[in-house]
């Protein structure tokens, strides 16, 4: 009984955590872009006279989105039009369930993982769900029966399919170094140390090239500014051209969920996941000799906080990139994907495999 | 490789702005510094000083005994390039042989704020304010100012 209640609770808590994080990513985007451009950013939303420089703004935004008129144009292909935003949001949100937020705990004598899906093939699950996410975009562009929408959808298809290859191939390098498809195992294997215990063997240290490729391909995958051709707001409005109200809101939120997902995946694969440096299941063991023993519960709490800190650093970096670079032209985009990233990731696989073969 | 370095330099520029503004605005927000660091003016509370040559809302001045200075000479209406001034003259009942405006209407929706009417006025009866930029209305009708509205102004807005 405790087990079943625990499962329901963790599903609710993890998705609530994800959606609240997404809301605050929108706030961070507004604030960070404002500061980069020498502005202040939204700071007027007020709850009981408290402004806190705009801390409640995301809730005001969400409320506004809910109460906007939801207009369905008469010429659209209704089933596809209605399905598209849900597909986009759901398939962006589900992979977050596979990311472990803290180490497993024991409940009623069984292992209880602190992620929604405790899958032995988490990496494959995430990659397959990521490739399903583009159906929302394609269906949105097609179901709108609008030429610009369709162009946006086609651009998204070409872009995401080409970058999916680089994304998958860069992960192959990681899987060679950490031979497991279980995300929890991958995180555990990153909790090893070299150079007398000073440097953690994180993915970014063992696989720097794969990290760069994963980051660029992931940014292309979530269709934000340096790669926002499907949206292309200055010439075609993009695949969500005919959407309004909460349906547009779902596409919008799906974008930010993908930012969260990319940051979470990068943290898990390359930044040591939920483990801060030198934290082991029984507490901290520092390389300078000291150690701080902690109970199992405190270890989980520290792991969850560490995961959030690493996540926010990654989100901050992704938003910084989004507000720094102008958009690629389509031929440049394809050139970067097919002529640079894919050969580089294949080179990375060969290099990694060769080094591993020599070491063994 | 050179392009990659340039891309990293670009990130450096945005990070520099971000960190500088974050630092300065945080100090300002907790009250340790007067320098905001950002260019935003939070409008209803903070206002920018109007430029010295800005001329906005019209107003009609009165003489010391309270009568309008305007003598309904039609000079301003003649000078107006937008033809937005309408004057109807009548004889002043208290002071025979003197004219006064029965109606003096400026349609600010048509006005180009060129100031020719002020230049043309021989009696110095018409002037323009400098400190009240809020002239927006929800209806165009509200922008048609008659004598009553033109004579109601804050004393401090004098130029």
Question: How many Å lie between the alpha carbon of A204 and the closest alpha carbon of chain B?
Answer: 18
Where would I find the H helices in chain A? 2-36, 57-67, 78-93, 122-132, 134-143, 147-177, 183-189, 203-206, 208-221, 245-270, 296-322, 330-334, 342-359
For residues A262 and A218, is the Cβ–Cβ distance under 8 A? Answer: yes
pLDDT beyond 90 at A308: yes
Highest mean pLDDT, choosing among A19-33, A95-109, A127-141: A19-33
pLDDT beyond 90 at B31: no
Bridge-based pairing of strands B58-60 and A291-293 is: unpaired
A chain contacts of residue B39, beta-carbon cutoff 8 Å: 38-39
A199-227 as b/e, with b when 16 or more CB fall inside 10 Å? ebbbbbebbeebbbbbbbbbbbbbbbbbb
Going from the N-terminus, what domains does chain B have, and what CATH number goes with each? Answer: 1-39 (no CATH), 57-150 (3.30.70.3270)
Residue A115, number of CB atoms within 10 A of its CB: 21
Paired with B87 in beta bridges are: B104
What per-residue confidence (pLDDT) applies to B59? 85
Interface of A with B (CB under 8 A): 32, 34-40, 43, 53, 320-321, 323-325
A–B: how many Cβ contacts below 8 A?
Answer: 41
pLDDT beyond 70 at B158: no
pLDDT band at B159, cuts 50/70/90? very low
Question: How many Å lie between the alpha carbon of B12 and the closest alpha carbon of chain A?
Answer: 9
Reading the block at residue B9, the tokens are 């330099």
Cβ contact, residue pair A38, B39, below 8 Å: yes
Cβ contact, residue pair B18, A35, below 8 Å: yes
Cβ contact, residue pair A320, B29, below 8 Å: no
Reading the block at residue A134, the tokens are 């583009």
- Which B residues 12-71 touch A at CB under 8 Å? 13-15, 17-18, 21-22, 25, 29, 37-40, 42
Sign of the torsion formed by the C-alpha atoms of A186, A189, A191 and A193: negative
- Name the residue facing A38 among B10, B17, B29 (closest C-beta): B17
Ranges A118-132, A247-261, B45-59: which has the least confidence: B45-59
Distance CA A242, CA A70 (A): 11
pLDDT beyond 70 at B154: no
- Name the residue facing A39 among B13, B15, B40 (closest C-beta): B40
CA B92 remoteness from chain centre: 32
- Name the residue facing B22 among A35, A320, A321 (closest C-beta): A35
Reading the block at residue A214, the tokens are 């994963």
Give which of A52, A76, A232 is closest to A143, Cα–Cα. A76
pLDDT beyond 90 at A210: yes
Question: CA nearest A318 in B: which residue?
Answer: B11
What per-residue confidence (pLDDT) applies to B105? 93
Domain spans, chain A: 71-359
Sign of the torsion formed by the C-alpha atoms of A129, A146, A163 and B4: negative
Cβ contact, residue pair B25, A37, below 8 Å: no
Distance CA A137, CA A85 (A): 8
Ranges B17-21, B54-58, B76-80: which has the least confidence: B54-58
- Name the residue facing A32 among B11, B13, B18 (closest C-beta): B18
* Averaged confidence pLDDT in chain A: 88
Q: What is the pLDDT of residues A133-172, one digit of tens each?
A: 888 888 998 898 988 889 988 888 889 888 989 999 999 9
For the full predicted model, state whether its pTM sits above 0.90.
no
Q: Which positions ≥6 away from A66 have C-beta within 8 Å?
A: A246, A249
Exposed, middle or buried, A67 (CB in 10 Å: 0-12/13-18/19+)? exposed
The ipTM is 0.80
Give which of A71, A58, A43, A35 is closest to A246, Cα–Cα. A71
- Classify A243 as helix, strand or coil: coil
Q: How many residues are there in chain B? A: 159
Reading the block at residue B54, the tokens are 């800005």
pLDDT beyond 70 at A68: yes
What per-residue confidence (pLDDT) applies to A26? 92
Reading the block at residue A314, the tokens are 């990654």
DSSP structure string for A5-63: HHHHHHHHHHHHHHHHHHHHHHHHHHHHHHHHTT--------BTTB-TTTTTHHHHHHH
A chain contacts of residue B12, beta-carbon cutoff 8 Å: none
- Name the residue facing B39 among A39, A321, A323 (closest C-beta): A39
Question: CA nearest B7 in A: which residue?
Answer: A325
What per-residue confidence (pLDDT) applies to A121? 87
- Kindly state the average pLDDT of the residues A259-284: 89
């Amino acid at each position: 009984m405790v087990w079943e209640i625990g499962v329901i609770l963790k599903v609710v808590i993890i998705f609530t955590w994800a959606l609240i994080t997404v809301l605050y990513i929108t706030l961070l985007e507004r604030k960070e872009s404002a500061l980069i451009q020498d502005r202040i950013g939204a700071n007027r939303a007020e709850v009981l006279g408290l402004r806190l420089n705009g801390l409640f703004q995301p809730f005001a935004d969400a409320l506004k989105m809910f109460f906007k008129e939801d207009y369905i144009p008469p010429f659209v292909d209704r089933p596809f039009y209605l399905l598209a935003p849900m597909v986009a949001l759901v398939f962006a949100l589900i992979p977050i369930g596979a990311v472990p937020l803290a180490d497993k705990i024991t409940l009623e004598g069984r292992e209880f993982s602190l992620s929604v899906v405790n899958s032995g093939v988490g990496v494959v699950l995430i990659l397959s769900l990521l490739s399903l996410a583009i159906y929302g975009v394609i269906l949105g562009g097609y179901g709108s029966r609008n030429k610009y929408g369709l162009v946006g959808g086609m651009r998204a298809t070409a872009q995401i399919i080409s970058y999916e290859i680089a994304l998958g191939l860069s992960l192959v390098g990681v899987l060679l170094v950490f031979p497991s498809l279980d995300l929890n195992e991958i995180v555990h294997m990153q909790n090893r140390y070299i150079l007398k215990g000073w440097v953690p063997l994180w993915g970014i240290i063992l696989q720097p090239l794969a990290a760069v490729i994963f980051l660029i391909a992931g940014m292309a995958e979530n269709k934000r500014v340096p790669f926002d051709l499907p949206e292309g707001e200055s010439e075609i409005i993009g695949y969500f051209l005919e959407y309004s109200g909460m349906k547009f809101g779902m596409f919008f939120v799906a974008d930010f969920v993908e930012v969260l997902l990319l940051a979470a995946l990068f943290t898990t694969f390359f930044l040591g996941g939920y483990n801060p440096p030198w934290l082991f299941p029984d507490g901290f063991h520092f390389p300078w000799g000291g150690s701080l023993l902690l109970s199992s519960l405190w270890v989980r709490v520290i792991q969850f906080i560490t995961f959030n800190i690493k996540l926010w650093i990654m989100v901050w970096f992704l938003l910084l990139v989004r507000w720094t670079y102008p958009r690629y032209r389509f031929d440049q985009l394809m050139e970067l994907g097919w002529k640079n990233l894919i050969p580089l990731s294949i080179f990375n696989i060969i290099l990694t495999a060769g080094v591993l073969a020599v070491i063994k | 490789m050179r392009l990659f370095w340039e891309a990293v330099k670009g990130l450096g520029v945005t990070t520099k702005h971000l960190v500088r503004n974050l630092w300065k605005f945080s100090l300002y927000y907790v009250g340790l510094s007067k320098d905001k660091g950002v260019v935003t003016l939070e409008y209803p509370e903070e206002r920018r000083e109007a430029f010295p040559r800005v001329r906005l809302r019209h107003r009609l001045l009165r003489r010391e005994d309270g009568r309008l200075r305007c003598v309904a000479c039609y000079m301003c209406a003649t000078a107006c390039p937008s033809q937005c001034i309408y004057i109807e003259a009548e004889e002043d009942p208290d002071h025979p042989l003197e004219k006064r405006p029965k109606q003096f209407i400026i349609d600010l929706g048509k006005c180009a704020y060129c100031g020719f009417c002020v230049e043309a006025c021989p009696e110095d009866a018409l002037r323009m304010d400098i400190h009240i930029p809020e002239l927006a209305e929800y209806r165009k009708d509200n922008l048609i100012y008659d004598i009553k509205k033109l004579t109601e102004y804050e004393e401090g807005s004098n130029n």
